[in-house]
């Protein structure tokens, strides 16, 4: 049905969407054209067989080469999301992001790039495996739906920019990662110090450097090299072992202790 969906048909649904309050961001002609272009690119895309690459150009984003690989959902998400995370953030900030997710803090990631937002947000899935995030996980939250930030449950979300009407003091002490300005705002309540954190950081440090090679393209969304794909597998294994250790040591007791306690 989607492949028979045309731009003219999309314009017809704008009125009912507006009636329901869901098309606030489609008011201008430019925004309507961008949305139609986005849908048209997906409509024209031909999924190749095997491991042949597909090239997509979505709006003002750089042309993206995507290879459809075989493997589990976890592996496929990891091969795309982890490189994006490790290129976009410092290792220290990645660790804060990881801990905040483990203790179910609200997390907001801000970036003007939809691709980077999706990559960083979805990296949560392999970072905490075999644990599973139980709260809302929203890769791109439209500003018109910013009231969702007032949700009483832990929330991980991405936005193009911080809504002017949002006060972080009213949003349950979040971790805010602003990739537009390369700043990270930590929660007022200190994040706990997890056991074996020095071992974890030491193991990740060498792997992190694989994604900082200045001889490669500076495009965060670039296709992974062979050594980067190998590094992703090692990163997944490192976090999986660390998460299993946390479970063995009673994660719930550890994260409930104050950050400065003797056992932290």
Distances (CA, A) of 16 to 5, 11, 22, 167, 238: 17, 10, 9, 32, 49
Q: What is the 3-state secondary structure (H, E, C) of 184-214?
A: EECCCCCCCCCCCHHHHHHHHHHHHHHHHCC
Q: Please, which residues have CB within 8 angstroms of residue 195's CB and are 6 or more apart in sequence?
A: 245, 246, 249, 254
Tokens 């994604």 sit at which residue? 211
Instruction: Give the containing element (helix H, strand E) for 175.
Output: strand 175-178
Residue 235 burial (10 A CB sphere; 0-12, 13-18, 19+)? buried
Give the tens place of pLDDT for each residue, 44-71. 777 666 666 777 666 566 776 766 666 6
Give the tens place of pLDDT for each residue, 103-136. 999 999 999 999 999 999 999 999 999 999 999 9
Band of pLDDT at residue 165, cut at 50, 70 and 90: low
Q: Could you give the CA distance from residue 33 to residue 123 in angstroms, rounded to a whole number?
A: 31
Nearest to 103 by CA among 112, 114, 111, 95: 95
Q: Which of 3-7, 178-182, 241-245 has the lowest mean pLDDT?
A: 3-7
The answer to whether the predicted template modeling score (pTM) of the entire model surpasses 0.95 is no
Q: Report whether pLDDT(258) > 70.
A: no
CA-based end-to-end distance of the chain: 55
Q: Please, which residues have CB within 8 angstroms of residue 68's CB and are 6 or more apart in sequence?
A: 47, 48, 50, 51, 52, 54
- Highest-pLDDT range among 38-42, 143-147, 202-206: 202-206
Per-residue model confidence (pLDDT) at position 224: 85
By three-state DSSP, how is residue 233 classified? Answer: helix
Q: Report whether pLDDT(11) > 80.
A: no
By three-state DSSP, how is residue 123 classified? Answer: coil
């Amino acid at each position: 049905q989607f492949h028979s969906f045309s731009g003219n048909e999309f314009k017809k649904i704008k009125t009912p969407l507006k009636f329901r309050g869901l098309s606030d961001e489609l008011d201008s002609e430019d925004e309507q054209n961008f949305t139609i272009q986005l849908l048209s690119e997906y409509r024209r895309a031909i999924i190749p067989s095997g491991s042949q690459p597909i090239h997509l150009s979505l709006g003002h984003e750089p042309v993206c080469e995507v290879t459809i690989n075989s493997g589990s959902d976890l592996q496929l998400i990891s091969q795309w999301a982890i490189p994006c995370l490790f290129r976009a953030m410092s290792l220290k900030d990645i660790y804060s992001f990881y801990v905040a997710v483990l203790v179910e803090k609200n997390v907001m990631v801000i970036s003007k790039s939809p691709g980077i937002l999706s990559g960083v947000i979805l990296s949560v899935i392999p970072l905490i495996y075999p644990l599973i995030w139980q709260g809302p996980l929203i890769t791109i939250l439209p500003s018109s739906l910013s009231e969702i930030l007032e949700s009483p449950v832990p929330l991980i979300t991405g936005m193009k920019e911080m809504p002017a009407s949002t006060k972080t003091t009213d949003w349950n002490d979040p971790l805010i990662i602003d990739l537009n300005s390369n700043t990270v705002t930590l929660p007022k309540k200190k994040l706990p110090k997890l056991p074996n954190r020095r071992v974890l950081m030491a193991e990740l440090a060498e792997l992190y450097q694989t994604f900082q090679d200045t001889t490669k393209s500076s495009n965060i969304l670039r296709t992974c090299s062979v050594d980067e794909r190998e590094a992703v597998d090692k990163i997944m294994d490192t976090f999986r072992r660390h998460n299993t250790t946390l479970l063995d040591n009673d994660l719930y007791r550890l994260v409930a202790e104050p950050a400065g306690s003797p056992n932290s």
